[in-house]
Structure 1
C-alpha cells in the first residue's frame, strides 16, 4: 500500500539536532573523559574492520559528535542525506534516523558518546555505498546478473568525507548520468499520479479494434487521456484519433504499432501506476550498479527492449533491433560489461559444447548425416568423416569431437560477428534467420545477441578508423575468407536489462520483464525497506 510522503522530514531532523547538541561533551573535556571516549570508539569500531582502520588512523578522534562546527555540519549533512534517501528509492528504514537520533540525544557520558560516534559512521557507510553503488548485491538476486559493481573501498568514504564539504560529498555520490536524472524526474511524476488516483479505471476488455464503440471504448479513451497520449475528447467510438493514441502508446511500450488494442497492448494499458513506479525504482538501482565511466563511445544492449545501440557522448548514433536469449534456464542472456576488441568477417561458427551435445549429438545418433552443414574435428584439429564415427557410443560427457560450421551465408553467425571476449561466450552477430526481427518479442537465441542490421553496425564501428568503412568492410567480405579486423580503439559493451528507461527527448519507455529479473529485484528492494510513495505535489 502506497503511503503519502511526509514532506520536510529532512528539515525536521536537522532542526532536531539543535536540541541534541546541548547533551554533547564540551570542547574542554578532561583527559579521563577523552580517554573514555576513545576507548569506547575503539571497542565499538572493533566489530568492523574498515571503521576500526579509519579511527585507528585518526587517533580515535571523533568526527560526528563534538560541539565544533565541522561535527555539527557533518551531522546535519548525514541526517539530511538520510531524509532524501526516499528520493533515490533507497530503504530509509535501513538507516534508522529516529534510532540514531535517540542514541545521540541520550549520549550523556563520554563512553556513550563514543558508541554513538561509531554508530554514526556505520550508518554513514551504509548510506554512502547504497547511494553510490546500490542497496542490493546483484549476484544474490539472479544468477544471470553478472554485473561487476564498481564498489569503492569502504574506508575511503570516511577518509574523503572528513576532507570534503559534507553536503557536497553526498551530492556527488549518486550516478551523474542523464538517465538517472530523468528516471528521478519520472519517479516524481508517478508519485504525484499515485497521490491523485492514477490513471483511473482499467479498460474492461481483452481486445478493442478501430470502428468499435461502447463503454469499453470510452474507458480506453479516458485511460489514454489520463496517460497523456491523447487530447480531451467526447467521442465514444474507436476513431482515428483514438487509433493514433493507441499507436503512440504502443511505440512507448515496445509493441507492434498497428493501432489495435490487442491482448498485449491491453495488458500494458491496464498496468498500474504502482507497477510502473516499481520499474523506475528498479531501473534507478540498476543505474547505481553501473555507476562508472561507460566510455565516450560504447555499445548498449537492452535485453528487454531487444535492441543494440552505439552511443557517442551520451547521444545514440546508431540503433538496431536485436534477438536475445530465449527465456529458458540455459539460454537467457546474462548482464555484464566488457570491451569489444575486434570483428570477424565471414566467421566460422565454433558450436558451443552445450549445443553440440544437447542438440546435435542426439540428431546424429538418429541419422549420422543430420545437420550436414556442420563439420566434425578431432582433438588434433583434423576434420573427421562422419562415416568413421559410431555416434551411439557417445554421450554428453564423453563426446570427443568439436563441431564447426564454415563461413557462408547459411552460417548461424551470418557474415559478421563482433567480439568482446568473455567467459560467458556471449557476442553480437549477424544471422540468416531474418524473419524473427519482425516480431515485437524477440527472445529466441541461445544467449548471444543477433543484430538486425549487422553490416550497418560494422560500418559505424569502423567509421572511426576507415575513411570509407563500407567499402573496407565489403572488400573483406567479398573474399569469402574468415578475416579478423581489430578495432583501433576498443569499445566498451554494456549488456543491460531495463524495463523502464528514458530518452533525451520524448516519453519514458516501458518494457515487459521478459526474464522476471526486475520482479526479483523489486521483491528484494521491498524486503530491504523500499516503499512506493504517493506525493502530493
Structure 2
C-alpha cells in the first residue's frame, strides 16, 4: 500500500509492479471473450462501496492513468479499458470486499507471483512484493479508503496486462517486421475481467483458457517447469577446453562433469552402472552424447568438438530463456485454423505437417535463407496452389548481382543452364547469346531471366505457392546434398523441401484424383501443370530455438538469425516504450 500508517507496513508503499513492455500501442475495446469461459458470478460477501472522497480518488487515478508506487507507473496503454472496467462497478471496488482482498484477488495475486511458470517475469508484475502488500491487511490499523482504491486499481492493471500477455504475447511481432497479425486476437479486457475474473469461482481455470490451445504450447510449459528445476539443481561447472576433438576411446578430464550433466538433463540414464573412474570417454557415455547432439541440432557422431562443447557448456538458465521465448512466439499465433497447418521452424531446418488430431503426420528437412543476407521471413499464409514443373522467374536482385556477371564472362551460360531472356509479356527474347541492348535491359529490369522447367531447375519439380508480401514459397531442389548438413541456411530466402513428392501428396490429400502416381507423372511430364486447392492449407513459417516433441523431449537450436536476442531486448522494455 502507499503511505500506510503502521510502521510495520512501510514495505507496502511499493505497489504492484507493471509489466515491462507492450509494443502494441493503445489498447481499445476489441475482440470477444474466448469460447468456454465461465461468466457466472458469485457475490458472496459485501462489496466495497466508495465514499465521495473514494470516488474522487478513483476518478483521479483513472484520468491520470498513472499510479506512483508501481514499477511502471503509467498505464495509458490500458486507460480506456480500465475506465470501462470500473464504470461497470457502480461506485464499488472490484477486488476488495468488506475492506479485504477477495478470494479471487488472492488467487490472481498468486498467479502473478508464479508468472515464471508461464514464461513471464514475476518481477514485471511486482511478484516479489505481493506478500508484503497482502500483509498490510492484517495490521491493527486497516488500510485507508485511498489505499484500498490504489490497491484495487493496481491489481486491475496488472491482471489486464497478465491476461493480455498470456493470450497474445507481450511483444507485437510487427516490431520485427514479421508477417503475423495479433490485433484480431485482442481481448475486450474490461469485459473479460468484469465477467470472467473478479467473481468467477475458479480464476486459475479461467486464465488457462486464454492461453494458446496447442498441445505443443502445453508441452513447452511442462518443459519450462522441468528446466527451471534443472537450472536450480545444476552446479554450473564447465567442461574443460579442448586441445583437440574428443573421440570415442579418448581420455578426457571432463568425463565426471559430462556424466553429471547428461544424467541431469536425461541423455544418460541414471544408475547406468558405469563410474568412468579412468576418465575414458566410451560406451554408453558416447551414446548419451549422440543423443544430446541430436537434441541440439548437431550431427550425432559422438565426437566432442568445439560446437558440441559450446552446447554442453551452455547454462541451463539459457535453456530456460529459450523456452520462455518459444512460449512468447506461440502466443502470437491464431488459436484456430480451418485446416491443420504446415509448420516450418527456421532454426530447426525442419517442416512439420499436422493432422486433425494435432499429431505430426509428416516431417522433413528443409533449407532456409542465409543467416546474414537472405533470411527467411517469419509469417503466416495459406497454400493455395501447387505447380509441377515450374519455371523459375529469377528475382531482379539475383539477376543483377549473380547471373549477369556469369553471362558477361561466358556467352553460353544461359543455354547451358536452361535460362532464357523474356520481356514483360513473357515473350522469349533469347535462349543463347545476349547482345549489348539485351544486357542493358537486364540491368535496368525491363528484361528478365527465367529458367525452364526440368530436373536442374532451381525450384526442382514442384512449387508450393502461398500469397505473402515477401514473395516466399516452398519448392524442391536439385541441390539435394545440402540436406545432409546439420546446419542448412543456404537459400536466397525461399524454403527448399527434402521430399517434395510426400509434401505434394499431403497438400493434395483431399483431391482424390491427385494420387502419388499422378504427382510423379506431373513432375516428369512435358508441361507445366498448376492445380489450385479447393481448401487452402494454413502454412506457418516460424522461428523457435526451443521445441518440445510429442514424447516430451526438449530440443534446442542455434539463434541463427539473432531473433532471440532481439526478442529479449524487446521484452526488457517497459509498457510505455515502443
Q: Evaluate the alpha carbon distance shift between residue 220 and residue 419 of structure 1 in structure 2; reply closer, same or farther with a 3 A threshold.
A: same
Where 1:76 maps in the other structure, the secondary structure is: helix
Structure 2 spans left out of the alignment, 5+ residues:
1-11, 17-45, 67-75
Whether the 8 Å CA contact 2:85–2:193 is kept in 1: the answer is no
Whether the 8 Å CA contact 2:47–2:93 is kept in 1: the answer is no
Whether the 8 Å CA contact 1:361–1:391 is kept in 2: the answer is no
| Aligned-residue offset at 1:31 | 7.1
Of 453, 456, 467, the residue aligned with 2:499 is 453
Of 425, 440, 456, the residue aligned with 2:486 is 440
| Residue 52 (structure 1) aligns with | 83
Whether the 8 Å CA contact 1:345–1:482 is kept in 2: the answer is yes
| Aligned-residue offset at 1:197 | 2.8
1:17-47 per-residue CA deviation (whole Å, 9 max, x = no partner) reads 9xxxxxxxx8696874575366446634695
Structure 1 spans left out of the alignment, 5+ residues:
1-12, 18-25, 530-537
| Residue 136 (structure 1) aligns with | 171
1:136-194 per-residue CA deviation (whole Å, 9 max, x = no partner) reads 23333x44x3332355445x122022222260332322223222222222222222222
1:284-315 per-residue CA deviation (whole Å, 9 max, x = no partner) reads 21122225224552101111111111111221
Q: Evaluate the alpha carbon distance shift between residue 59 and residue 481 of structure 1 in structure 2; reply closer, same or farther with a 3 A threshold.
A: farther
| Residue 179 (structure 2) aligns with | 146
Of 52, 56, 66, the residue aligned with 1:36 is 56
| Residue 326 (structure 1) aligns with | 370
| Aligned-residue offset at 1:104 | 9.2
Q: Evaluate the alpha carbon distance shift between residue 222 and residue 258 of structure 1 in structure 2; reply closer, same or farther with a 3 A threshold.
A: same
Greater CA drift, 94-103 or 371-380: 94-103
Q: Distance in 2 between matches of 1:364 and 1:506?
A: 52
Q: Distance in 2 between matches of 1:389 and 1:60?
A: 82
| Aligned-residue offset at 1:375 | 1.4
Q: CA RMSD in A?
A: 3.3
Whether the 8 Å CA contact 1:302–1:495 is kept in 2: the answer is yes
| Aligned-residue offset at 1:113 | 5.2
Q: Distance in 2 between matches of 1:31 and 1:263?
A: 69
Q: Evaluate the alpha carbon distance shift between residue 27 and residue 267 of structure 1 in structure 2; reply closer, same or farther with a 3 A threshold.
A: closer
Q: Evaluate the alpha carbon distance shift between residue 364 and residue 74 of structure 1 in structure 2; reply closer, same or farther with a 3 A threshold.
A: same
Greater CA drift, 99-108 or 243-252: 99-108
| Aligned-residue offset at 1:513 | 1.3
Residue 127 (structure 2) pairs with residue 89 (structure 1)? no
Whether the 8 Å CA contact 2:213–2:335 is kept in 1: the answer is no
Of 509, 518, 522, the residue aligned with 2:555 is 509
Q: Distance in 1 between matches of 2:258 and 2:134?
A: 52
Residue 499 (structure 2) pairs with residue 479 (structure 1)? no
| Residue 469 (structure 1) aligns with | 515
Q: What TM-score does the superposition give when structure 2 sets the normalisation length?
A: 0.78
Whether the 8 Å CA contact 1:247–1:259 is kept in 2: the answer is yes
Q: Evaluate the alpha carbon distance shift between residue 30 and residue 420 of structure 1 in structure 2; reply closer, same or farther with a 3 A threshold.
A: closer
Residue 389 (structure 2) pairs with residue 346 (structure 1)? yes
| Aligned-residue offset at 1:266 | 2.3
Equivalent positions of 1:204-223 (< 5 A) are 204-205=241-242, 206-223=244-261
Whether the 8 Å CA contact 1:377–1:384 is kept in 2: the answer is yes
Query: How many pairs were matched up?
Result: 501
| Residue 266 (structure 2) aligns with | 228
Q: Distance in 2 between matches of 1:101 and 1:151?
A: 36
Of 234, 239, 242, the residue aligned with 2:285 is 242
| Residue 64 (structure 1) aligns with | 95
| Aligned-residue offset at 1:251 | 1.8
Greater CA drift, 414-423 or 166-175: 166-175
Where 2:94 maps in the other structure, the secondary structure is: coil
Q: Distance in 2 between matches of 1:520 and 1:413?
A: 32
Of 399, 415, 425, the residue aligned with 1:380 is 425
Of 336, 341, 354, the residue aligned with 1:293 is 336
Q: Distance in 1 between matches of 2:116 and 2:281?
A: 41
| Aligned-residue offset at 1:382 | 2.0
Residue 222 (structure 2) pairs with residue 185 (structure 1)? yes
Q: Distance in 1 between matches of 2:114 and 2:570?
A: 20
| Aligned-residue offset at 1:404 | 1.3
Q: Evaluate the alpha carbon distance shift between residue 104 and residue 344 of structure 1 in structure 2; reply closer, same or farther with a 3 A threshold.
A: farther
| Residue 471 (structure 2) aligns with | 425
Whether the 8 Å CA contact 2:223–2:552 is kept in 1: the answer is no
Where 2:478 maps in the other structure, the secondary structure is: coil
| Residue 254 (structure 1) aligns with | 297
Q: Evaluate the alpha carbon distance shift between residue 345 and residue 212 of structure 1 in structure 2; reply closer, same or farther with a 3 A threshold.
A: same
Greater CA drift, 436-445 or 49-58: 49-58
Q: Evaluate the alpha carbon distance shift between residue 275 and residue 27 of structure 1 in structure 2; reply closer, same or farther with a 3 A threshold.
A: closer
Q: Evaluate the alpha carbon distance shift between residue 29 and residue 346 of structure 1 in structure 2; reply closer, same or farther with a 3 A threshold.
A: closer
